[in-house]
Amino acid sequence: MASETMKEGKERYKSGVIPYKKMGYWEPDYKIKDTDVLAMFRMTPQPGMDPEEVAAAVAGESSTATWTVVWTDRLTACEMYRAKCYRCDLVPNTGEGTKTEAQYFIYIAYELDLFEGGSIANLTASIIGNVFGMKAVRALRLEDMRIPVAYLKTFQGPATGVIVERERLDKFGRPLLGATTKPKLGLSGRNYGRVVYEALKGGLDFMKDDENINSQPFMHWRDRFMYCMEAVNKASAATGEVKGHYLNVTAGTMEEMYKRAEFAKSLGSVIIMIDLVIGYTAIQSMALWARQNDMILHLHRAGNSTYSRQKNHGMSFRVICKWMRMAGVDHIHAGTVVGKLEGDPLMIRGYYDTLLDTHTPLNLEKGLFFEQDWASLNKCMPVASGGIHAGQMHQLLTYLGDDVVLQFGGGTIGHPQGIQAGAVANRTALEVMVQARNEGRDIWNEGPQILQDAAKWCGPLKAGLDTWKDVSFNYESTDTPDFVPSATTSV
């Protein structure tokens, strides 16, 4: 696999078309620099295409190349600016003799000067800007990235971070508990706040707007904000705890979002919320605002599954996690393993590590293809939401650990004895499981018994367990890691 790059000079720049491999975008012996941005794609070439040539084309089109030779390259330090594909491996269990067409893991190194500091928009315009539509690739998926420390230092990172969030909320040593107000559409502000009050008074830490609750005819945003803050403060007085409601400030323009965020602040909210669909730049702007205004910033990953779920095309959610930690959100929905939404346990652990670690080692089982030093960026709290209930507490705590917000929407509001009872069931199940784990008990196996024992003195927990005892969502994941355990490391 020697480099086939043509020598710089007259021949190299003759008008016409030469293969990307020869233009300098394929450098298998390239020595990676600490300051390089690295990206790894899963690439499916068109049938009959040389995979290395297509890999080089991906490197070329995501950096300096166009389809033909241009002499103006010679006015620049073009060798430096060219992205270099340095590795192209057949994905295990694809290609000849398998049911799946050949796919390749391709590794590309990008010079740091290709990117503007502090701009996710600029980073992504290169990395995912054009290449996904190239004819030479049948499908392409961005699997992982290594962001160099030098580049991370140009980003603010999470406005608050897990550590400071816990200090502000005075909540330590256990996962936080939340729920999304249901039904998500149709409630008036007054009725909506009722749900918030009941759940918070019952024992949850947070309530949450859903992703598509903005300012609709049935409930305009100012009404929602005011009733929710009445509920939050009343519940805080009733329990002696700091409580919060993620007020969704997502709107059609930045101006409107700032206006809503300011109003949330004026009402004393500790947290606001935005949706991923507002875009990277808007997210970064809101993160700056949140840092300036002592606000926790919750991000709902609305829309991500349109491009993150299919294994052969789009991008992995772990890359979204990296970008969002850089962009500066404090919370992001990152999967439940056991709930109603997509998720393989090890892949989800990979997302959680990406959000929470100060340093993430390479781990192919978790889908982490690169080692990542987080350069002291704050930690971002993962949120587990969607189809989870108290009966799964031992599984949730085992899979997800302490640094997570567990969101039991239906599992709180749908409780047969009412919303407060639902909250009591969830909080009791959580505390009893944390206690048991700390005592050294094997909660994975003893979990159901631990819950049943607690249900003897906690009526609401008993009712909850009886209602949801058989609910589980055992579908096979579409997004699983492909790796050979003995594979050599990538760098």
Partner 1 sequence: MMTNPGNQITQGQFSFLPPLTDVQITAQIKYALKSGWSLAVEYTDDPHPRNTYWEMFGNPMFDLKDPAGILMEINNCRKTFPNHYIRVMAFSSAYGIESPTMSYIVNRPKNEPGFGLVRQETDSRSIRYTVHSYATEKPEGERY
Query: Judged by CB under 8 A, does residue 213 bind partner 1?
Result: no
Q: Which of 226, 277, 341, 491 binds partner 1 (CB under 8 A)?
A: 226
**Residue keyed to tokens 């100012």:** 222
Where residue 93 falls (left for φ over 0; alpha for ψ -120 to 50; beta otherwise) is left
261-to-254, 273, 331, 379 alpha-carbon distances in Å: 10, 9, 16, 22
Q: How far is the CB of 167 from partner 1 (least distance, A)?
A: 6
Query: Judged by CB under 8 A, does residue 358 bind partner 1?
Result: yes
Query: Judged by CB under 8 A, does residue 242 bind partner 1?
Result: yes
Tell me which of 245, 300, 331, 415 is the catalytic residue.
Answer: 300
Q: Which of 156, 188, 233, 398 binds partner 1 (CB under 8 A)?
A: 233
Whole-angstrom Cα distance, residue 356 to residue 381? Answer: 7
CB atoms within 10 A of CB 237: 11
**Residue keyed to tokens 């329990």:** 239
Residues numbered 421 to 480 that lie near partner 1 (CB under 8 A) are 421, 423-424, 427-428, 431-432, 434-435, 438-440, 457-458, 460
Q: How far is the CB of 235 from partner 1 (least distance, A)?
A: 8
Active site residue 394: no
Backbone angles phi, psi at 139, to 5 degrees: -155, 155
Whole-angstrom Cα distance, residue 90 to residue 96? Answer: 11
Q: Which of 178, 202, 343, 411 binds partner 1 (CB under 8 A)?
A: 202
**Residue keyed to tokens 């969002």:** 324
**Residue keyed to tokens 């008036």:** 188
**C-beta separation of 27 from 5 below 8 A:** yes
Residue of 136, 108, 106 whose CA lies nearest to 30: 108
CB atoms within 10 A of CB 125: 15
Whole-angstrom Cα distance, residue 30 to residue 32? Answer: 6
Q: 339 forms bridges with which residues in the sheet? A: none
Among the listed ranges 48-56, 126-134, 162-170, 307-315, the one in contact with partner 1 (CB under 8 A) is 162-170
Q: How many residues bind partner 1 (CB under 8 A)?
A: 44
Q: Which of 48, 173, 217, 485 binds partner 1 (CB under 8 A)?
A: 173
Q: Which of 268, 303, 361, 416 binds partner 1 (CB under 8 A)?
A: 268
Query: Judged by CB under 8 A, does residue 82 bind partner 1?
Result: no
Active site residue 7: no
Query: Judged by CB under 8 A, does residue 90 bind partner 1?
Result: no
Residues marked active site are found at 182, 300
User: Which residues of this chain interact with partner 1, rule CB under 8 A?
Assistant: 163, 166-167, 170-174, 201-203, 226, 229-230, 233-234, 236-242, 266-268, 358, 379, 420-421, 423-424, 427-428, 431-432, 434-435, 438-440, 457-458, 460
